[in-house]
Amino acid sequence: MVFSSIIFLYFFLPIVFLTYYIVPKTYKNIVLIVSGIIFYGWGEPIYIGMLIISILIDYMSGLGISKFKDQKFLRILFLIISVVMNIGLLGFFKYSSFFIDNINNIFGLSIESVSHPLPIGISFYTFQSMSYTIDLFMKKIKVQKNFLNFATYVTLFPQLVAGPIVRYKDISEEIVERDIKISDVYYGIYQFVKGLSKKVLIANNIGYLWTTIKDMDLESLPVITAWVGILAFTYQIYFDFSGYSDMACGLGRMLGFKFPKNFNYPYTAKSISDFWRRWHITLGDWFKSYVYFPLGGNRKGLARTILNLIIVWFLTGFWHGANWNFIIWGLYFGIIIILERLFLGKLLEKTPSFFRILYTFFLVVIGWVIFEFIDLDNLFIYIKSMFGLNSGGFIDSRGIYLIVSYLFVFIFCIIFSTPYLKNYIYKICRTELEIIDNFRVVFIVLGLILSTAYLIDASYNPFLYFRF
């Protein structure tokens, strides 16, 4: 993984961008398609064919929906073909074993489970591709008749395997014609290095602490050690995923695309509803547009609104993984959001901002425990350790050692997961834009050097959202 990251950073990217900038506009999309296929094949070459088939089916479905715009039956038929194909691929590769295992457990059967690796990023690009045909059916966009343009949309390598989920309407004009300005390239480089630094320098370091604690005897974890561990994971998953999103948006900007924002300082949210408006924004928008609103949203009374929210949050949890803990995780947040809509939100509005942030952060941390432990027994054991219900006591010498060793890493996590430092810098430099630009240049150079040094030296370089 580390060697692959270095090859990607210093071999693949320079060749792609050099080629992309040199070739005439007519061939830029071809460069992107080839790059996307190579990038996807880097991780799972066996599934390149599946990606191409998915592109072909959605492209043909789009043409069918557009051509037969006055024939409702045919339009619905082409939409069904697209949706069934995408959901079918996702269901077979991601959920077939889950359903078979549960059927066997419930009915005492012994159906053999199909074992196959999960294609990288399948949850992202199927949702992205499917949004095109749904929007086309709903007449929100115009059909893309040029196959290469459509293939470019699906195979854009920066966000192909881990988002953000870019809907066609977000970049439909840029797919056809885009201008690449020096300022965009400069800001894209800054955004990419910022994401790389978040992932490599912060997420990897704090993540190693979580791995260390998770490998301990969970039943004998002291309270403080258990909390330190899950706080480490809380920051790891944020800097890991938001770091990749920043890298994707930065690379897209350098290519002439403006991808939608995927994170907005979620750990400063003042309610769970607010948290989900800030965390994985593009996924939330997807479920809102294609599930919640079509079900009726909040327009059909309170009971129907609650049912719609339960469906959306069940699907949100299930989207993340084919295990019961993800379903519980989704419903956990769904129930809290329902309670906030019923009465809790009004109570929170009467409390100080600090308390609201603390309330939200506490519930999010508990949610990350549910998210991380696929084994439900270990999940409940860990939660019991967090609240002193196991045999580990309150604190021990190893816990103190870990806290002291990672104190500065936690301080960096807290600082860079909030906007306060950035706001302060902008406040004192609001009339001195040159200072900000100079800071960015220093950050780009320093961030790239430190990240590269870490990648060369480290053996621990996981990426949490590749499994989705």
**Largest alpha-carbon pair distance within the chain?**
73
Question: In the annotation, is 116 catalytic?
Answer: no
- Give the helix, strand, coil percentages of the chain, each rounded to 5: 75, 0, 25
CB atoms closer than 10 angstroms to residue 300: 12
Q: Which of 263, 328, 259, 316 is nearest to 287 (CA)?
A: 316
User: Catalytic one among 75, 94, 194, 320?
Assistant: 320
Give the amino acid at 168: Y
- Classify the phi-psi angles of 71: left when phi > 0, otherwise alpha if psi is within -120 to 50, otherwise beta: beta
The answer to whether residues 462 and 207 touch, using CB atoms and an 8 Å cutoff, is: yes
The answer to whether residues 373 and 325 touch, using CB atoms and an 8 Å cutoff, is: yes
Q: Which of 355, 379, 378 is nearest to 367 (CA)?
A: 379
Q: Which of 116, 125, 46, 114 is nearest to 85 (CA)?
A: 125
Distance CA 33, CA 59 (A): 15
Distance CA 289, CA 297 (A): 10
- Give the N- to C-terminal CA distance of the chain in Å, as an integer: 17
Q: How far is CA 116 from the centre of its chain?
A: 23
- E strands, 323-450, are none
Distance CA 445, CA 441 (A): 6
Q: At what angle do helices 407-416 and 397-405 cross, to 10 degrees?
A: 50
The answer to whether residues 373 and 379 touch, using CB atoms and an 8 Å cutoff, is: yes
Q: What is the DSSP string of 34-85?
A: HHHHHHHHHH-GGGHHHHHHHHHHHHHHHHHHHHTTT-HHHHHHHHHHHHHH
Residues tagged active-site: 320
